Amino acid sequence: MWQPQLSTEVGFRFFKHSERFPVVAAVDIQGITKKFGQFEALRGVDLQIAQGEFFALLGPNGAGKSTLINLIAGLLRPSSGSIRIMGHDVQSDYQQARMALGVVPQELVFDPFFNVREMLRFQAGYFGRGPENDAWVDEVIEGLGLTDKAHSNMRKLSGGMKRRALIAQALAHKPDVIVLDEPTAGVDVELRQMLWRFIQKLNQQGHTIILTTHYLEEAETLCERVAMMKSGKIVALDTTRALLKNHAGKQLTLRLSGALPIDLQAWVKQQQGDEVVLNVTDLWQVETVLARLRAAQVSVLDMQLQEMDLEDVFMNLVGSHGGSVR
């Protein structure tokens, strides 16, 4: 499988940026709540995303990711709290804030009257960009593999192609902060690779990237930092590496000849038939497990040691059984 390469320049780039604009966060979210009638979709979200970050917003369906993005985009207005994009308040200084922002909506929307290139030029035009921007528009078209479809009417594109056009539209004015709400939903492997290559290039040029996805391996390989949301709250916020280190550890799957000894019950993650899954944080604990099994005269029929990935962390934190706020 294609593996995106994490940039090694991240630290340097970040440093350079913070010299030029002293400590202005790309996105600064303060105490955001959002109610739809009685229903509270967001229940107090605070989040700062630095310039140049590659950030993932994860969470199950209905967690409030899109709601948060729509608030950032100014498509919704918060019930309380405030949001700044590159230091500009999305309400009071909306023009500057929106200039700095490119958003790919989750829904596959399009304008049936125009072709891809026309749409992109219009979109750039709304942001005050003129013919001088056409070269960039062509670069986006090429970078997302839309060259063949540049003159096709939006209506006639396949679903995946529409998704590409939607992404291209968000990039048309070359925004500093790029927010992608499930950009890879319904998209083939080729585009996913193409898309991430293109987005990574933008990130290396200093653009801030925020994405939501349900493909956790994408977040794991691409993003420096992730936030996990559940029921309108952020339940975990850390660098991807730290999350994996603190939450993941390893899991030991065993098939035993007899019952699991009492003194090992506390380690059980799940149990199915004669198969038991134990959580272990370190390798030496495997020794302990085996010693206790020997003492209880239970023999091991099969054994497997697995590293957990972001998906397991995710299930631990936001799955229906997890959810303890750390």
Partner 1 sequence: MMKVLMQWLNPFYWLDDIVPARWRGMYTLFKKELMRFWRVAFQTIASPILTALLYLLIFSHVLEAHVKVYDQVSYTAFLVPGLMMMSLLQNAFANSSSSLIQSKVMGNIVFLLLTPLNTLEFFCAFLAASMIRGLMVGLSIYLVALCFVDVPTVHPWWIITFAVLGSALLGTFGIIAGIWADKFDQMAAFQNFVIMPLTFLSGVFYSIHSLPPFWQAVSQLNPFFYMIDGFRYGFFGQGDVSPWLSLSVVATFMLALAWGCLKMIKSGYKLRG
Select the residue interacting with partner 1 from 6, 10, 24, 99 (CB under 8 A): 99
Q: Tell me the number of residues near Mg ion by CB under 5 A.
A: 3
Instruction: Give the x-and-dash track for 130-169 against partner 1 (CB under 8 A).
Output: xx-------------------------------------x
Strand partners, 272: 275
Binding status of residue 213 toward Mg ion by CB under 5 A: no
> Does residue 213 sit in helix, strand or coil?
coil
Out of 40, 89, 111, 275, point to the residue binding partner 1 (CB under 8 A). Answer: 111
Is the four-CA dihedral 140, 143, 148, 154 of positive or negative sign?
Answer: negative
Rule CB under 8 A: choose which of 5, 113, 258, 306 binds partner 1: 113
Residue number closest to Mg ion, CB atom: 66
Task: Look at residue 215 and give the partner it binds from Mg ion, ligand ATP, partner 1, none, a contact being a CB closer than 5 to 8 Å depending on partner kind.
Answer: none
Residue 106 within binding range of Mg ion, rule CB under 5 A: yes
Helix, strand, coil content of the chain in percent (nearest 5): 40, 25, 35
Q: CB-hemisphere CA count at 13 Å for 134?
A: 6
- Please name which of 9, 7, 13 lies closest in space to residue 197, comparing C-alpha atoms: 7
The option from ligand ATP, partner 1, Mg ion, none interacting with 114 (CB < 5 to 8 A, set by class) reads partner 1
Q: Which of 208, 204, 163 is nearest to 26 (CA)?
A: 208
Give the footprint of partner 1 on residues 244-303 (CB under 8 A): none
Of 149 and 247, which has the nearer Cβ to partner 1?
149
Site size for partner 1 (CB under 8 A): 34
Q: How far is C-alpha 319 from the geometric centre of its chain's CA atoms?
A: 17
> CA gyration radius for the chain?
23
Please give the residue ranges that form the binding site for ligand ATP (CB under 6 A): 36, 39, 41, 59, 61-67, 106
Residue 171 binding result from Mg ion, ligand ATP, partner 1, none, given CB thresholds of 5 to 8 Å by partner type: none
Find out whether 154 and 77 touch, Cβ atoms under 8 Å: no
Q: How would you classify the pairing of strands 208-212 and 177-181? A: parallel
Q: How far is the CB of 99 from partner 1 (least distance, A)?
A: 5
Count CB-CB contacts under 10 A for residue 75. 12
Closest CA to 167 of 187, 190, 189: 187
Residues of this chain that bind partner 1 (CB under 8 A) = 36, 70, 73-77, 94-96, 98-99, 101, 103, 105, 107, 109-114, 118, 122-123, 125-131, 169-170
Residues of this chain that bind Mg ion (CB under 5 A) = 65-66, 106
